């Protein structure tokens, strides 16, 4: 059997030998290729792309294996011209896939923007990188179609009523499923307000998260508290109000907490209390700087209590909720020590 395989391989054309060696090589280096050479920024996506490439390698190698079994073991017909055309077509798809992946990686490196996302430096997509990717994708599809037409000698595909015309009809008929998301993604990337590293609050979707990744069709968020990923279609994202909590290249965030304190507590005691709360909160949460003194503002002298606002700065926008929790805990623990109460005072009693 080994001798038969060697005889089959040596009888292949230069194209066939190259295709087999290329597929074996790509199968073994697929993981390294998508992790170090053309990484996507997501470990799960890198693994998915490597599995897809290996699947294509196995399918193409299976064509040659079937050709060997059918034409060398079962029959003695020599190489099949039909299977040769199938393998050439598969190789076109394989090379087209690799070209788009390498091309997209190049556009991100060339036109992407260096940003810090949760403490990690990374190149993120921009409007120019995605437009470059679209151009590369269109060129790849056009060249692949011409090569396939040349392989199978089917010039009728070029007619308006042929295969290409059918593909265009399918694209037009399915535009509702992909066009809105793609256009929305390009618009958001072009505006530059929303991008990887930006922390957003979307009240209608109950989202408080940092943007991890933006593609033409969807945006991936990473929830600040629960640490899970949230994927939202770009068309849905553009249809709702989005609160941008930080600038793309700024890591700190200004926030505030409000307390209702009774009229019987003088402002000097409130100021002393707030300073103590701040110092204790800084011990709990490391992203609060004790040197950055909070600012106290009287917001509203209400009917039952005075509403005081404590304005402060969080050094990392990714810890804004944890910082608020720390301040609330410190405020609760210190109220008795400073002789005041955060509970709404009872200003009247039922007769």
Domain ranges of the chain: 2-173, 194-244, 253-334
Residue 239 DSSP class:
T
Do residues 67 and 83 lie in contact, with contact meaning Cβ atoms separated by under 8 Å?
yes
3-state class (DSSP) for residue 255: strand
Q: Give the per-residue pLDDT at 272.
A: 93
Most confident of 105-109, 159-163, 187-191: 105-109
Q: Give the per-residue pLDDT at 295.
A: 93
- What beta strand segments (E) does 190-340 contain? 199-202, 207-214, 218-223, 229-233, 243-244, 253-261, 295-301, 306-314
Q: Give the per-residue pLDDT at 83.
A: 81
**Residue 160, CB-side half-sphere exposure with 13 Å CA sphere:** 0
pLDDT in tens, 114-146: 776 666 777 778 877 888 888 888 889 888 888
Phi-psi sector, 339: left (phi>0), alpha (psi -120 to 50), beta: left
pLDDT surpassing 50 at residue 350: no
* Rounded Cα–Cα distance for residues 17 and 11 (Å): 9
Do residues 89 and 17 lie in contact, with contact meaning Cβ atoms separated by under 8 Å?
no
* Rounded Cα–Cα distance for residues 288 and 320 (Å): 10
Residue 92 DSSP class:
H
CATH of 253-334, one of 3.40.50.300, 3.30.70.100, 3.10.180.10, 3.20.190.10: 3.30.70.100
Task: State the pLDDT confidence band at 164, using cuts at 50, 70 and 90.
Answer: low
Q: What is the largest CA-CA distance in the chain?
A: 108
Average pLDDT, the chain: 83
pLDDT in tens, 226-275: 888 999 988 889 889 998 887 655 678 888 999 999 888 899 999 999 99
- Residue 8, class by beta-carbon neighbours within 10 Å (0-12 exposed, 13-18 middle, 19+ buried)? buried
Do residues 344 and 304 lie in contact, with contact meaning Cβ atoms separated by under 8 Å?
yes
In this predicted structure, which of 148-157, 191-200, 231-240, 325-334 has the lowest mean pLDDT?
148-157
Q: Give the per-residue pLDDT at 259.
A: 93
Query: What is the C-alpha R_g of the chain?
Result: 31
* Rounded Cα–Cα distance for residues 87 and 1 (Å): 23
What ranges in 112-195 are assigned the alpha helix state H?
Answer: 127-152, 163-173, 175-191
Q: Give the per-residue pLDDT at 121.
A: 74
3-state class (DSSP) for residue 69: helix
pLDDT surpassing 60 at residue 149: yes
User: What average pLDDT score do residues 142-169 get?
Assistant: 70
* Rounded Cα–Cα distance for residues 180 and 38 (Å): 28
Do residues 334 and 280 lie in contact, with contact meaning Cβ atoms separated by under 8 Å?
yes
The answer to whether the Cα torsion of 148, 154, 158, 160 is positive or negative is negative
Q: Give the per-residue pLDDT at 176.
A: 57
pLDDT surpassing 80 at residue 154: no
Task: State the pLDDT confidence band at 96, using cuts at 50, 70 and 90.
Answer: very high
pLDDT surpassing 70 at residue 344: no
3-state class (DSSP) for residue 115: strand
User: In CATH terms, are 194-244 and 253-334 the same topology?
Assistant: no
pTM: 0.61
Residue 117 DSSP class:
E
What architecture is domain 194-244?
A: Roll (2.30)
């Amino acid at each position: 059997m080994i001798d038969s395989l060697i005889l089959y391989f040596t009888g292949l054309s230069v194209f066939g030998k190259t295709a087999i060696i290329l597929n074996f090589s790509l199968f073994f280096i697929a993981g390294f290729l998508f992790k170090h050479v053309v990484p996507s920024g997501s470990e799960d996506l890198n693994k998915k792309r490597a599995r897809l490439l290996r699947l294509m390698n196995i399918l193409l190698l299976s064509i040659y294996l079937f050709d060997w079994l059918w034409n060398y073991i079962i029959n003695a017909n020599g190489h099949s011209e039909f299977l040769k055309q199938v393998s050439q077509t598969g190789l076109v798809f394989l090379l087209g896939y690799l070209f788009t992946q390498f091309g997209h990686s190049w556009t991100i490196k060339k036109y992407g923007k260096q940003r810090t996302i949760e403490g990690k430096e990374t190149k993120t997509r921009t409007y120019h990188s995605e437009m470059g990717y679209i151009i590369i994708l269109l060129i790849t599809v056009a060249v692949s179609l011409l090569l396939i037409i040349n392989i199978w000698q089917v010039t009728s595909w070029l007619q308006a009523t042929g295969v290409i015309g059918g593909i265009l009809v399918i694209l037009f008929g399915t535009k509702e499923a992909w066009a809105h998301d793609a256009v929305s993604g390009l618009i958001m990337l072009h505006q530059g307000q929303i991008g990887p590293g930006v922390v957003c609050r979307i009240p209608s979707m109950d989202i408080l998260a940092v943007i991890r990744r933006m593609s033409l069709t969807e945006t991936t968020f990473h929830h600040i508290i629960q640490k899970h990923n949230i994927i939202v279609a770009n068309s849905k994202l553009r249809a709702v109000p989005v609160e941008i909590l930080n600038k793309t290249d700024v890591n700190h965030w200004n926030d505030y907490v409000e307390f209702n304190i009774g009229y019987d507590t003088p402002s000097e005691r409130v100021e002393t209390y707030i300073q103590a709360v701040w110092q204790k909160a800084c011990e709990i949460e490391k992203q609060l700087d004790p040197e950055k003194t909070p600012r106290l503002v009287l917001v509203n002298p209400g009917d039952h209590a005075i509403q005081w606002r404590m304005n402060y700065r969080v050094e990392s926008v990714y810890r804004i909720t944890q910082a608020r929790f720390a301040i609330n805990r410190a405020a609760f623990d210190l109220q008795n020590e400073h002789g005041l109460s955060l509970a709404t005072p009872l200003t009247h009693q039922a007769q």
